[in-house]
A and B are shown apart, each in its own frame.
Chain A
């Protein structure tokens, strides 16, 4: 095995993040744990540089590292999206961490390592490298979730996540091993070729597919493997939840497309129906359960489950256009959910509330804080899927891909579920604008939040009104 300079440049974004993480640790050590703003700065700059490196790689297509890494547009696009997510999470974290009294410098290196894991996952061209990326991401997340060491909920969430995550890793790894036993290789391309030649499934293959499906289902939190996500999302520090519900989910979906949508596509007839049912059950579960929540964080956790259901529709549809649509939806979803969490985090710091993410904290905030009100409204409208937001077009593209491939039932189920979802998303807007404010409505207004809210809402409207560049990019790069 030999590596050339091309290989090194191909993974430049990942290398930059490694350097960033190490630098961040050193800076944190140097500051003796007193002030982590320097660490934050290093991390943010690292994400920017890595993002630029990722974008400058657009157009180069091929495989790197002796066929272990895909150097394609999908990788590039999602590397850039992950960097944006990482960057925004990093800049709006300090205010929250300060509010929660979490003074731990390792937060930022862990965030960086987690994004690194995500990048490795989406670029991986074989199951083993994917697994390494997955573990890198997950282990960083286990620690991030339980970072609020004085809060028992945070500890409990971290513990649950660790146990369930270990469970999932075991299933996934067993599935990979069985797949290797069947095919004799762990490369996606070899798997495709093997099943193209022989699309029948033996018992061993069935076990492999089922175990892999189980592992993915856990990561993207679909029925019946979704229970952990609500508890973990609720217990984790809110910035970590915002990050988890966007980045790692998108990464898992991209790999899901690569493994099930492409590598196992020759045997798609075996798992399509199963996946359709999971999609429908997931949407229904997520939306119905979200209806009755009184806690915004839990509501968003269930909503995130519902969105995983919509996204699965794209994978079931299973053609090029559907993957492009899923890619668009993932990007749009990352923007709107990150925005929603950012807004909710700031709402939760309202004076006189106990910081428990109750819906009541929203009352009457719309007119008192126009920027917050308008941007949270945009995020909610986008999550509902109303024009002219990116969320609308994401749904439009995914569901029309489903209709084109003959999955009418899935599209109808998606639409019916969107109606249910309207109820709980609109409640946020109603409370902000139509309820009388109770008590003190002053909330802190740190600049990074304003930047995050403006950037995200403008992006959502921009790619909602002018979707052409993004969807063209996705059509060009989708596998």
Chain B
């Protein structure tokens, strides 16, 4: 396990080598080297998982190890930012998911991006992203987490704006960056609050925690390490000494601020607006970054800080509320969108909502929701990546994102069709595919922790998910070809089909992994099917599929009639509840006009004026100093003597 650093390390070195040396020589080699690096990294991730679970066994909560770390920046005692690798069940889970999906997406991209301008640049960024994401996953402290958090943000920005000659792609990149940066402001303030009280608490409880941690970490624990922040004694200290803000405990405020960062990265309402636009990036990027890995970073961080969230109480209610709302909100919008990637994007939002609400309903004594959330993260990564990659194969074949340009593709793209169907069944929660099991766990968590409303909404959305997913499935694969291009569509090359098949197998079978056993949070609860929940959930899914089949396999009149019957409501949903327009109105008419403009005036006249004055003064001083440099030793000596005399006088004056 000492080699854990290789998992993020290999993509990092590959990023440097590919970016600096291979890319200029051969674009083609760049793709293969970058891909190979991820496969090697995945191999190490698997071997770490194997080592860990064969060493510590399963069925109980495994320890959090820091087998490798070094001091990076020392601020003061107990406040040193380290760089290291944290190995515990959830970081292993994420390492496995990220390396697997990333490796397959790299492989797929070799085919998908072939012949594109900037092929080497693409793979360089993809490596950078993989490194950053893995660095985030293994972060043992909140500073490394934040640094990598921003690095994934940058890689996402670079890849969304990959087609930088296309104005909409550039705008989408900027939008994603600005929205998430805004959210990260909350995250940063949250970190500062935790760090401040952590360093205050350290002298009281640090020694005790250090003793408990003995042997687990290779270097002494710091106040910003997760092991310290999450310790019950730390939460207790902050809760009892730090007072309250607006009726909330300081710990709760810090957690809610950190959750703001999570909501930005995981695109929770109302910060979700960047994710649908992010689909401007190449499709494999959407699969990797905006479906399977980066967007789950927010869920992961909440899971990582779960003990603190649970100790503070209120933040989990916020998480549950936002998660449930986003889950339903996005699913409703997904029913009306026509761009296949946008439907998948809203579907991602909805599924992330599931993960968040599962965390929100969990408590310290009954952490079933925590397990369920991680389980859903695990299965979702595979079937959603598959959906995107299959959609990529469709787009590759039809050269259009619009589902109405497709149709009848099941015969022309048989492999894509079958894999897409597998993923669609998985996300719809049809047993025994993977999505069924993880959704079942989430619903069970909501019931067992007495959240009937959350359960009701989640059940409804399960049906809705099946409906909108089969909607795009029927429209693109069934019926007749609706465009010239769809008639001449062709299957993708093998290098793209292999990842599709691999992911399809994972999407089908990943549900059989006894996640509760690995995470050690099952508390004796047997991993299995709970018929009282599974039957209604499956029924909801089947109703959704049936409804979808009724509406979209028949004639066009049927759904047009339904849309007309819904009238204004349909238009509102189709326009995504006008959230983007509200943002635009607020930023343009209120912020720009009443806040930004006065600030701009102040900046242009007062601040710039002061700077110009400063520059003018320095310039004038320079002109004044120039004659002093005469080049004559006599002048210099005169200055010298006066200086020496001056020294003596000053020293003397101090004396008297």
Q: Would A171 and B625 count as touching, CB distance under 8 A?
A: no
Q: Would A291 and B619 count as touching, CB distance under 8 A?
A: yes
Q: Would B72 and A225 count as touching, CB distance under 8 A?
A: no
Enumerate chain A residues within 8 angstroms of B644, measured Cβ to Cβ.
171, 210-211, 214
Nearest CB on B from A384, distance (A): 16
With A207-B648, A209-B651, A273-B654: A292-B623 Cβ-Cβ less than 8 Å: yes
Q: Would A227 and B622 count as touching, CB distance under 8 A?
A: no
Q: Which residue of B lies closest to A202 (CB)?
A: B655
With A225-B640, A270-B651: A467-B633 Cβ-Cβ less than 8 Å: no
Enumerate chain A residues within 8 angstroms of B71, measured Cβ to Cβ.
468
Q: Is the CB of A131 closer than 8 A to any CB of chain B?
A: no
Q: Which residue of A lies closest to B81 (CB)?
A: A468
Enumerate chain A residues within 8 angstroms of B621, measured Cβ to Cβ.
284, 288
Q: Which residue of A lies closest to B635 (CB)?
A: A227
Tell which of B626, B629, B640 has the most Cβ of chain A within 10 Å.
B640
Enumerate chain B residues within 8 angstroms of A419, measured Cβ to Cβ.
614
Q: Is the CB of A201 closer than 8 A to any CB of chain B?
A: yes
A 284-299 binary contact with B (CB < 8 Å = 1; else 0): 1101110110000000
Complex: A472 Cα to B626 Cα, angstroms: 42
Nearest CB on A from B474, distance (A): 53
Complex: A217 Cα to B639 Cα, angstroms: 12
Enumerate chain A residues within 8 angstroms of B618, measured Cβ to Cβ.
287-288, 291, 420
Nearest CB on B from A337, distance (A): 21
Complex: A291 Cα to B631 Cα, angstroms: 19
Enumerate chain A residues within 8 angstroms of B639, measured Cβ to Cβ.
224-225, 227
Q: Is the CB of A7 closer than 8 A to any CB of chain B?
A: no
Interchain CB contact (< 8 A) of A227 among B70, B619, B628:
B628
Interchain CB contact (< 8 A) of B629 among A211, A230, A273, A471:
A230
Enumerate chain B residues within 8 angstroms of A435, measured Cβ to Cβ.
none
Complex: A468 Cα to B80 Cα, angstroms: 10
Q: Is the CB of B643 closer than 8 A to any CB of chain A?
A: yes
Q: Is the CB of B636 closer than 8 A to any CB of chain A?
A: yes
Enumerate chain B residues within 8 angstroms of A269, measured Cβ to Cβ.
654
With A468-B73, A468-B74: A274-B629 Cβ-Cβ less than 8 Å: no
Enumerate chain B residues within 8 angstroms of A209, measured Cβ to Cβ.
651
Q: Would A201 and B651 count as touching, CB distance under 8 A?
A: yes
A 304-321 binary contact with B (CB < 8 Å = 1; else 0): 000000000000000000
Q: Which residue of B lies closest to A289 (CB)?
A: B625
Nearest CB on B from A432, distance (A): 20
A 251-295 binary contact with B (CB < 8 Å = 1; else 0): 000000000000000000111011000000000110111011000
Q: Is the CB of A407 closer than 8 A to any CB of chain B?
A: no
Q: Would A274 and B628 count as touching, CB distance under 8 A?
A: no
Enumerate chain A residues within 8 angstroms of B652, measured Cβ to Cβ.
203, 206
A455-479: which have CB < 8 Å to B?
A: 466-468, 471-472
Q: Is the CB of B589 closer than 8 A to any CB of chain A?
A: no
Q: Is the CB of A213 closer than 8 A to any CB of chain B?
A: yes
Q: Is the CB of B565 closer than 8 A to any CB of chain A?
A: no
Q: Is the CB of A427 closer than 8 A to any CB of chain B?
A: no
Q: Would A214 and B643 count as touching, CB distance under 8 A?
A: yes
Complex: A471 Cα to B72 Cα, angstroms: 11
Q: Would A210 and B625 count as touching, CB distance under 8 A?
A: no
With A228-B636, A288-B618: A271-B643 Cβ-Cβ less than 8 Å: no
A-B contact pairs, 15 of them (CB 8 A): A160-B633, A164-B633, A171-B644, A203-B652, A207-B648, A213-B647, A214-B643, A225-B639, A270-B655, A274-B650, A289-B622, A292-B622, A420-B618, A466-B72, A468-B70
A: residues with CB less than 8 A from B are: 160, 163-164, 167, 171, 200-201, 203, 206-207, 209-211, 213-214, 217-218, 223-225, 227-228, 230-231, 269-271, 273-274, 284-285, 287-289, 291-292, 419-420, 466-468, 471-472
